[in-house]
Amino acid sequence: MLGLCGKCTSLKARGDFIILYCSIRRGYQVYKQVCAACHSMEQLAFRNLVGVAYTEEEVKEFAEEYEYPGDNDEEGNPTTRPGKLSDYFPNPYPNDEAAKFANNGEWVGSRCVKLTPPRPNLDT
């Protein structure tokens, strides 16, 4: 199979799950290297990746690459802390206006898509 990572080749017996597993890992890699510069996944927390395609330790490392607002220090100054599993993916822009300005007036928005099943029409 093309494009399998080292972990996937050791799981050959699991069939289609391997492709999904590798696709999720590759998708996150592409998001992180390309898409995250303009788009957020602000509706997803790092913990959402645990057990799907990554171990808890791997995801903790991903989260710790980002800094989040922490508690104030003794003097009342804001501090930062490394990310943790319960944190949501950060937005690359501080607000919608900054996002529009950086993207020629276009709001690029979140790349999170909430999939919901169609609702039945109860009026008919």
Residue 40 tokens, joined: 């957020």
Q: How far apart are CA 64 and CA 72, in angstroms?
A: 19
Global pTM reads 0.69
Instruction: Identify the CATH number of the domain defined by range 12-102.
Output: 1.10.760.10
Average pLDDT over residues 62-81: 93
Query: Can you give the pLDDT at residue 3?
Result: 47
Structural domain boundaries in the chain: 12-102
Average pLDDT over residues 99-124: 64
Contact 44, 28 (CB under 8 A): no
Contact 31, 70 (CB under 8 A): no
Please, which residues bridge with residue 28 across strands?
none
Residue-wise pLDDT for 99-110, tens only, equals 888 888 777 665
Query: Can you give the pLDDT at residue 108?
Result: 65
25 pLDDT band (50/70/90 cuts)? confident
The residue with greater pLDDT, 89 or 102, is 89
Contact 85, 60 (CB under 8 A): yes
